[in-house]
Amino acid sequence: MSEDSPSIGTLAQLAAVFVAGGTGATLRVLLSGRIEQALVERLPYAGVLVVNLIGCLLIGFAAAVITTSHWRNIVLGGLLGGFTTYSAFALLSVDLVGHQRWGVLATQIGTHLVGGVLCVWAGFWAARTLGFGAAAG
């Protein structure tokens, strides 16, 4: 192997991130589909929003608890990175503009931004409160 080639450990890490990302994306599709079906009458477009907020909460918690770069890459970058989706949020926003659903658009954008930040903070808070890992110190 040349000096520029990734090591076996690096390849294993990348494979783990790949599998975790696919798992996160699959979970996102399944959960957002269920949410859309359950709330289509009362809260259209809720699937992407709810999944992203749950993902933000989990990312905050995991970031507070997981201290090794190996597991942070797998869990935060792979699993939860695949689970949450900025691109779906952006596509939904463009769709709402195209249908001139200005109120829903404003609600979606505001809730994603403010709610996302609050959920990440809540994840950190929960990890500290429950005494997990580095967050406990």
Residue ranges for the binding site for Na(+)? 81, 84
How many beta carbons lie within 10 A of that of residue 16, not counting itself? 17
Q: State both tokens at 97.
A: 């503009």
Annotated binding site: 81, 84
> Locate tokens 């957002």: which residue?
32
Structure tokens at 108: 């979606």
Which letter, b or e, does each residue of 76-108 get, where b requires 16 or more Cβ atoms within 10 Å of its Cβ? bebbbbbbbbeebbeebbeebeeeeeeebbeeb
* Cβ–Cβ < 8 Å for 64, 127: yes
Which stretches of the chain are assigned E, i.e. beta strand?
A: none
